[in-house]
Chains A and B, each alone.
Chain A
Amino acid sequence: MSNPLRIFVPVKRVVDYAVKVRVNATKTDVDRNVKHSMNPFDEIAVEEAVRIKEKSPKTEVVAISCGTAKSQETLRTALAMGADRAVHVEVKDDSTLQPLAVAKLLKAIADKEAEKPDLFILGKQAIDDDASQTGQMLAGLLNWPQTAFASKVEINGKDLKVVREIDGGLETVATKLPAIITTDLRLNEPRYASLPNIMKAKKKPLVKLTPEDLGVDISPRLQTLKVEEPAKRVGGRKVENVDELVDKLRNEAKVL
């Protein structure tokens, strides 16, 4: 049995993974008037934290989200999955909130707490900006070890062992808490929140903060000049049989 930990789990509200996004009319962003849900990698992060808590019940799991008022839905989902309390850093417009600013907000929250967290578990990337930066940046700002792209996590007291997905295979690294983990797809299978747990989650504490409360400048470093549709492929041609396929590849596409 491991010691009770304080685990912070940042979660992001993003356009649902199954939505086919479209560039908006002004070519400044994608159309956001679509279904949103918790970033899939963050669900895996919440699940991992809750599993740690299930082994060591005094563990506290704090879900954090930086974004518009609607991010509270995402925090309630994390609470329904088993997080104990939530912190919402509210901004009016989250389309310009970038990984460096989020990492600074998360560090400020950790600094503000009477008792520091032992562990941050984040998703390895958000499926909207596809940046894959926030966890590594937070680790840098805190000067903590980072174990990114985790597919297996073992905690024993203050010892942390993580199997990481790397190019070509897997790598194992060992470190001490406090530390940062970012989750890869294979870490676990997130649970669905049950209706009773969704009801209970409504009563769990949710604290609201602003970037000003935390003294963090969130002004974007990157300005998006334009957003465009990717080049369209002209696909859709069918061949009748393997002979025709081989012929086309040899004589038309000339790739064989």
Chain B
Amino acid sequence: TRSTLAPRFYTTGAGINTLLYVEHKDGSISGATLNALTAAKKLGGSVTALVAGDAPESVADQIAKFQGISKVLTAKNAAYTHSLPEDIAPLLVEAQSKFGFTHLVTGHTAVGKNVFPRAAALMDVAAISDITGIESEDTFVRPIYAGNAIATVKTSDKIKVVTVRGTAFDAALDGEQAASTESAPSAETLSLTQWAGEEIMKSDRPDLGNAKRVVSGGRGMKNGENFKMLYDLADKMGAAVGASRAAVDAGFVDNSLQVGQTGKIVAPELYVAVGISGAIQHLAGMKDSKTIVAINKDGDAPIFQVADYGLVDDLFKAVPELTEKISK
């Protein structure tokens, strides 16, 4: 399998045996899982993927081909369909106990955040959230205080339960050879909660968390209708659309578009902040973007302190002009 290549790059992996929990929806692997795989490989040692669901086979086949995966475990049970933590956490515990995993890794997403701390508590170990760096097998780097400080933490626990900030690690690459697949050990499913439905925002634009370009609007957009200007600009650039908390709270756009400490963390190549003042909580979600552009009529807005290119102008004039000039 591809995992035989891993020791060439990472020489510290003796005894390290990592379980990657694969988040998936509608037959597709979550982008954050592929970033988490890169982090898992960085630990050295072997990486086993766990795919749980009512029909895990096709996702198992997909993840098996990724470089660095040495084995895939499938847990087939309708109880796993919606990643409910009451059922997934005991499965992780069973898998750890059977295979002696030293590390459990997944993306710091809504699912990862929901499931992993529960699993950690069941194992009586700390959970280490939202890591942005790996110093060694027990020492991790993670932002605290909305990214205004960076902590390096060392765990004394034997089992490390870790969620990974997607934007801090590249996505793992697809390979050619497929790792072998076997069934995961069975765990009790208590089904303490029932999934009752979802409302997912449908969009043809790239996923906000993984997009190479992001156009975000804030309170300065004035209303939801005006966001059409940003959608037009985003479509011209092949960008995802995000928003500040102010824009979400004012009802201009859906909650799931919020960028910030308590929303999505993004780090695209280009982030265009339109009508966003740049509060601490918003900066926490985007200040690792490679190039930041700010368009705001208030030249003193804090967003300009982090912007590589700031344009002090009326957004209602500048955005349509930008859209037009980009297409040329």
Contact = CB atoms under 8 A, between A and B. Distances in A.
Interface residues of A, number: 79
Nearest to A246: B325
Interface stretch (A3-11, A49-57, A130-138): A130-138
Q: Which residue among B82, B261, B309, B325 has the maximum number of chain A CB atoms within 10 Å of its CB?
A: B309
Given A133-B127, A140-B119, A169-B198, A242 B145 contact: no
A164 B197 CA distance: 10
Interface in B272-309: 280-281, 287, 290-293, 299, 304-309
Given A169-B199, A169-B200, A237 B209 contact: no
In which size bucket is the chain B interface?
35 or more
B146 A130 contact: yes
Interface stretch (A75-83, A85-93, A98-106): A98-106
B126 A222 contact: yes
Interface stretch (A15-23, A66-74, A193-201): A15-23
Given A133-B127, A246-B322, A227 B149 contact: yes
Contacts of B313: 241-242
B155 A128 contact: no
B221 to A, nearest CB: 18
A167 B256 contact: yes
Contacts of A41: 262
Contacts of A140: 89, 117-122
Given A165-B110, A239-B310, A20 B148 contact: yes
A114 interface: no
Contact of A170 (B89, B149, B198, B325): B198
Contacts of B245: 185
For chain B, what secondary structure do more than half of its interface residues adopt (helix, strand, loop), or is it mixed?
A: mixed
From DSSP, what is the main secondary structure of chain A's interface residues?
A: mixed
Given A161-B196, A168-B256, A236 B118 contact: no
A224 interface: yes
A173 B118 contact: no
Contact of B311 (A133, A166, A184, A245): A245
Contacts of A228: 149-150, 152
A81 to B, nearest CB: 21
B171 interface: no
A210 to B, nearest CB: 21
B308 A253 contact: yes
B229 interface: no
Nearest to A139: B118
Contact of B310 (A130, A172, A237): A237
7 nearest CB pairs, A to B:
A140-B121, A137-B121, A133-B117, A221-B126, A136-B117, A145-B192, A140-B118
Given A127-B145, A133-B127, A168-B207, 15 more contacts: A21-B148, A30-B149, A127-B261, A132-B129, A136-B116, A169-B256, A171-B197, A172-B197, A223-B156, A228-B152, A230-B287, A233-B306, A238-B304, A242-B321, A245-B293
